[in-house]
Structure 1
Amino acid sequence: MPKDTYDANDERILLLQDGNYSAYAQDVECMWRWTIYRNKELVQEGCSLSLRSAKEAVDHVMSFYAIAKKN
């Protein structure tokens, strides 16, 4: 996971930057909300109980997009 990199509003942590894709996590008190963007457009979102599980969820979704891109 990249060193904690926050967006301009210091609200979201950058989890992934890969080509046209970027993913962020945001602490919303009782859970972590994660979002994945392609070309700055939201393509997937979800919630996890911890920052680590948010990163794992993003990695899982991104592996699907990598497989889909090959086909």
Structure 2
Amino acid sequence: MEYLYSVTCTYDSETAPRWIGRYSDAISAVETYQKFVDWGTAVEYSTINLSEPNGKMHTKIFYKDGSVSGK
């Protein structure tokens, strides 16, 4: 099975993701991406990325103070 989509979770300024999920379909990848709703166990912030096979990346950053940013 070929995995076309990936979701990653990285804490603070770590260089490698704490968690990686790989998916063969967009629906499963988006469902997983949407399950991330806070900073988890990060010290200051967590970064969640959803990568598509065409190179597009969706990012949301959850900060400990409750704010969220994304692109």
TM-score by length of 1: 0.37
Which structure dedicates a bigger proportion of its chain to helix?
A: 1
- Higher RCO structure, 1 or 2 (CA under 8 Å, sep 6+): 2
